[in-house]
Amino acid sequence: MIQEEVVPERTEVMAPPMAPPPVETEIDEIVHIAEQMPRFPGCESMPAEERKAYSEKPLLDFIYKNIRYPSMAQVNGVEGTCVIRFVVGKDGTIRKTEILRDHEPGLGQEALRVVNLMNEMPERWTAGKQNGRSFSVQFNLPITFKLRQEHAQVCYGPYLIMLWGHED
């Protein structure tokens, strides 16, 4: 009797499929100070040395043009400084707006409204840069509301805006 030898069928062991390479997600890091701080639109055509000195004026002009001293604050003689915190994104948009300090609720809400209006402008901020890369940069913008007998004025200074209302 001849015995047949049973040879098991050869099976190949397959390695599991390779995982796709990890997707690099870019974290939107927010910095407080950048080598090149973001700039409000309006001074792009100027030479670099003049740009820094001039860059605050268009921002202050925008705020002065759009801000309104709240009438109830005028009637009640309310004055004070509020601080608005916001982030200028890598794409030049304004986001994460908040009232950091509010002297009176009406003043802070008005200042916040005007900062949020910046996203409705046809031009965007120029993004901040660090080591040649664009970064989101956080700003704290103080706005001082002050009543006075004369016409409304804005006092220009580094990130200090004095809005003069008039009493009736």
List the domains of the chain with CATH numbers: 30-166 (3.30.1150)
DSSP 120: G
Say how far apart CA 15 and CA 29 lie, in whole Å.
39
Token digits for 104? 């009176």
| 37 neighbors 52 (Cβ within 8 angstroms) | no
Numbers of helices and strands, H then E, in the chain? 4, 7
Residue pLDDT tens, the chain, 168 long: 666 666 666 666 666 666 666 555 456 788 888 888 888 887 777 777 777 667 788 888 999 999 999 988 888 888 999 999 999 999 999 999 999 998 777 899 999 999 999 999 999 998 899 888 899 999 999 998 988 765 444 444 444 455 554 443
The pTM assigned to this predicted structure is 0.69
Token digits for 47? 């030479």
